[in-house]
Every structure is written in C-alpha cells, then in structure tokens.
Structure 1
Amino acid sequence: MSDIVITRKHSLGVRKARIAAERVAADLQAEFALDCAWREANVLTFERPGVNGELRLARHEVALSVRLGLFYLPFRGVLEREIHAYFDREFAA
C-alpha cells in the first residue's frame, strides 16, 4: 500500500469548504466510481477496490489522505499531481 497525504490552507470557511468538498465527491463518483459518504460533519470518506481515503475539513484547512492498493501504485505520481491541481481550483486560499 502507498499513501498520498496532502494538507492545504484555504480561506473558504467551513460552509464553503463543505460545498467545495461536495463538488469533489460528485466528481469522484462520476469519474472514478468511488463511493463517497460523510462520516462526520466534516469528514468525507471514499472508497473502491484498491483505493480508499478521507477528506477532512477544518475552518482554514483541508486534509486529504488516500491509500492506494498495488494496482494503483504506478499511477501515484499522476494522481498526486491531479489532486494538487484539483485543490488549487476548489480550495484556493
């Protein structure tokens, strides 16, 4: 297993950050067939065979933790770059 961990500051506040996270969840479900659910008020979990993780929202920070299975290891670098680009768009500070 390999982990991708990204923490990013934002200036959206919790409400707007949750709206951005809802867009993230919809995109993950549509593009990668990931099952997404809010586990707590500000923790979005997602999974599919070979990939699981969570997105945690705080007032001025978003943290993502993704665990990749063996099949996805060769794509780790590409996935990490895509996640950074996505966070640049959705959670710009």
Structure 2
Amino acid sequence: MTDIRITRSHGLPPEQARSAAQKMADRMVSEFDMKTQWNGDVLAFERSGVSGTLALRENEAQVEVKLDFLFKAFASTLEEKIARNMDKAFGIPA
C-alpha cells in the first residue's frame, strides 16, 4: 500500500524530465543515503524504512512512497518535502 502519492503535470520534453528526476535522485542519495535505479522511465529508490518510485509519463511525473511503521509518523512532513522538491524539479514556482 502506498503511503504517499504525488502527481505533478509538466511540459518538459522527455530528456529534460529525466534530467529533473535524476537531480531529485541525486539529492535523495546525498541527503538520505538512498539507493536509486532506473528501469525504463521509472526511478526506484530505497533505504531502510522507505521505498518508492518516481514514474515519468508524457506531461506527468508521479511519486509513490511506502513507509515502514516507524516512518509513518513523519508521512505528512515527508509528503510536503517531496511535493516541494517535485515543484522545483519540474518547473512549478514555489
């Protein structure tokens, strides 16, 4: 079951959308010690207690996150941070 789901529309060409997603991934790796891996247009990410995907579609990016029990208490804070990062990455003004 998904604990966090955020979808953002964008007007980026596929290469720029993938570049924006990769920048988000690079931040997640450095800030949260996450492991990431591309599978086509889906970026999977994982660390202890948190796993999910960032799927790129034409004109849309969607993040789905699953949280272990200990992280569920922080779901709203994590959701806000992910939403801000998606807005920034996909060109939506803050």
Give TM class, smaller chain: over 0.9
Query: What corresponds to 2:15 in structure 1?
Result: 15
Aligned sequence identity (%): 38
CA drift of 1:8 comes to 0.9
Query: What corresponds to 2:53 in structure 1?
Result: 54
Query: What corresponds to 2:89 in structure 1?
Result: 90
CA drift of 1:74 comes to 1.1
Unaligned runs of 5+ in 2: none
Cα RMSD, aligned residues only: 1.3
Cα distance in 1 between the residues matched to 2:91 and 2:3 = 23
Detail structure 1 runs of 4+ shifted over 3 Å in the superposition: none
Query: What corresponds to 2:72 in structure 1?
Result: 73
Cα distance in 1 between the residues matched to 2:19 and 2:66 = 24
TM-score by length of 2: 0.92
Cα distance in 1 between the residues matched to 2:38 and 2:25 = 10
Cα distance in 2 between the residues matched to 1:60 and 1:2 = 22
TM-score by length of 1: 0.92
Unaligned runs of 5+ in 1: none
